[in-house]
Chain A
Amino acid sequence: MTTLRRVAGKLGALLLTLFLASLLVFFSRFLVPGDPVSFLLRGRKPSPEAVAQVTAQYGLDLPPWQQYLNWLTGVLQGDFGRSLQYRQDVSQVIGDRLPVTLGLVVMAGTMIAIVGLTAGIVASLNRGKVLDRAVLIGLTVLGAIPSFVGSIVLIAIFAVQLGWFPSFGSGEGFWDTIYHLVLPSIALAIVFVVLVGKVTRSSMVEQLGREHVEVATSRGLKRGTVIRRHVFRNSIGPILTVSGVLVAGLLVASSIVEAAFGLAGIGSLLVASVDRLDFPVVQAIVLLIVTAFVVVNAIIDVLEPWIDPRAAAGAGAR
């Protein structure tokens, strides 16, 4: 069946992109002039033992391709080497901080979906009217507020001035963590709402003008039914595509929000590791974010035909 071949083709492209990305992440270190030992030990006392240990651990005396293969074999088994700063396995350091980031991204993603879809649908149903323009202007303004600006404004208003929410830390226990993540996830969501909102609006507007919608209306179907089953359902494709792009954006921007709110997630870990010259951790987080982005987009790519059969069968199959 062609479906199987299509999925296999996507999988091949996915693996190739991941392979090339891993080359970029690994060999970027070789762009830095000077010897690798002093690069990895920047800002630390290069005692002979430390030099010997780092050389042995990363196999720095081996030829580059051998180093890459060793690294890749480790990465595929979840072994990203050891952190120079925390003196722990990189996977351990990242694993400890992953839940906060995932919580943040899930909460922000939910907010983006709710606000973005609502704004897009409301605007499309009132196309050309005042409400449509108001929503569009609102979305544009939100889209111009970078996460760090959103963070400090929210801290100023809701943490310091009103004292409703904490301005620092990720809390303890489930509900307390959620409570601590409210402001950060709003700050993270703000700039991305415009993406979902505008795509939803234009996708809905396009469908609203199509003949099948007119037919459905003239058949006497209720407006709500027409919009739900004939307009919104057909508009999902572009919205899904844009959600794939969101994943990478949210993961990267979470580093800004986590730094602003003092959350112990992988984003703030990335920034701290750059600051403390802990390159193995940086390498691992960059690779994780890129992998998450590529994999999510591949999944959306593969799923799209099931959600929207027209994408599989070409135009006008239904």
Chain B
Amino acid sequence: MTTPTMAMKVLRSPRARRSSTTFLISAVFLGAVTIAAIFASFLAPYPPNQVDLLNIQAGPSPAHWLGTDALGRDTLSRMMYGARTALLAPLLVVVFSTIVGILLGLLAGWRGGWIDSVLGRIFDVIFAFPALLLAIMAVALFGKGLVAPVVAMSIAYAPFVARLTRSLIASERSRPYVAAYRVQGFGGGFIALRRVLPNVMPIVGAQSTLNFGYVLAELAALSFLGLGVQAPTADWGAMVNEAQSGLIGGYFLPALVPAVAIVLVVVAVNVIGEELSDRIGGEIPA
């Protein structure tokens, strides 16, 4: 049996195995961060806002593994609690933008015609607003915090998902299996939602995984600017912001720990997203 799919699997497997080390490390790392975030109240050595006046801006010690900040709060504990907003907010953005993007992309790609042109024009306008700029504008309108930015970023990212879905759907639409369903008398809605959509979902999912990394960095930047998560709530971006004054005084740790964590999470997400799209790339002709 040498069906194309089997041949492809045989060809693909060595490559998949080779790159799986970085993939595994990234997945384990993200899993650990997620567990630390979910179970922060059990795992963290201190409450996030507990002040230790005897240990202000202290270096790593058995009592404070990652030292303390300018108010004497335990950096490790704040990192664990801070992972909650740092991960949850981008997750919401990715989920919202993916759902909205898929629906709009499906509509544009499947129906075509004037719906496609109107949606395309709207997407063009939204593309002209970088996501972070839209988030900053949302804060200017609705006040500081993460609610308005999460909505704004979802709007900013939905067109990316929609345009990808649209092009995938448009190329699927002309393939023989769609015609076969048509001939058998299946309705357009059924074919689009139940037969075509599942075929394009993996590629869209891989793209959304990559988006997660960008959104995480952008929302952290927003909190760094003092426009997102507000003190005293622990959040990675806000922690870097609060540690800025200590930085000039030569005390780097409270700023560097959350900064490095953000970079590591973004790298891990990129590794996973890129490998996912590589794997899928062999199976679904776009």
Q: Is A274 a contact partner of B256 (Cβ separation < 8 A)?
A: no
Is A286 interfacial (CB 8 A cutoff)?
Answer: yes
Q: Report the minimal beta-carbon distance from A157 to chain B, rounded to whole angstroms.
A: 9
Mask for A225-239, Cβ within 8 A of B = 1, else 0? 000000000000000
Q: Report the minimal beta-carbon distance from B132 to chain A, rounded to whole angstroms.
A: 5
Q: Is B259 a contact partner of A153 (Cβ separation < 8 A)?
A: yes
Q: Report the minimal beta-carbon distance from B33 to chain A, rounded to whole angstroms.
A: 15
| Bound CA span A160–B252, Å | 10
The residue of chain A having its C-beta at the shortest distance from the C-beta of B223 within the complex is: A148
Which stretch (B39-47, B77-85, B88-96, B135-143) binds chain A?
B135-143
The residue of chain B having its C-beta at the shortest distance from the C-beta of A256 within the complex is: B221
Which stretch (A49-57, A58-66, A84-92, A137-145) binds chain B?
A137-145
Q: Which of B200-233 contact A (CB under 8 A)?
A: 213, 217-218, 220-221, 224-227
Q: Which of A12-57 contact B (CB under 8 A)?
A: 16-17, 20-21, 24-25, 28-29, 31-32
Interface of B is mostly: helix
Q: Is B133 a contact partner of A17 (Cβ separation < 8 A)?
A: no
**Which one of B142, B217, B227, B256 has the greatest number of beta carbons of chain A within 10 Å?**
B217
| Bound CA span A274–B140, Å | 5
* Other-chain residue from B225, B247, B260, B263 in contact with A255 (beta carbon distance below 8 A): B225
* Other-chain residue from A28, A161, A248 in contact with B141 (beta carbon distance below 8 A): A28
| Bound CA span A256–B260, Å | 17
Q: Which residues of B contact A24 (CB under 8 A)?
A: 125, 129
Q: Which of A276-298 contact B (CB under 8 A)?
A: 277, 279, 282, 286, 289-290, 293-294
Number of interface residues of A (CB under 8 A): 48
The residue of chain B having its C-beta at the shortest distance from the C-beta of A277 within the complex is: B140
* Other-chain residue from B124, B141, B218, B262 in contact with A149 (beta carbon distance below 8 A): B262
Is A252 interfacial (CB 8 A cutoff)?
Answer: yes
Q: Is A152 a contact partner of B140 (Cβ separation < 8 A)?
A: no
Q: Which residues of A contact B266 (CB under 8 A)?
A: 144, 146
The residue of chain A having its C-beta at the shortest distance from the C-beta of B258 within the complex is: A149
Q: Is A156 a contact partner of B136 (Cβ separation < 8 A)?
A: no
Q: Report the minimal beta-carbon distance from B184 to chain A, rounded to whole angstroms.
A: 39
Number of interface residues of B (CB under 8 A): 40
Is A249 interfacial (CB 8 A cutoff)?
Answer: yes
Q: Which residues of A contact B220 (CB under 8 A)?
A: 146, 148
Q: Which residues of A contact B225 (CB under 8 A)?
A: 148, 255-256, 259, 271
Q: Is B137 a contact partner of A286 (Cβ separation < 8 A)?
A: yes
Q: Is B140 a contact partner of A273 (Cβ separation < 8 A)?
A: yes
The residue of chain A having its C-beta at the shortest distance from the C-beta of B249 within the complex is: A160
Q: Which of B96-138 contact A (CB under 8 A)?
A: 121, 124-125, 128-130, 132-133, 136-137
Which chain A residues have a beta carbon within 8 Å of chain B's beta carbons? 16-17, 20-21, 24-25, 28-29, 31-32, 140-141, 143-149, 152-153, 155-156, 160-161, 167-168, 248-249, 252-253, 255-256, 259-260, 270-271, 273-275, 277, 279, 282, 286, 289-290, 293-294
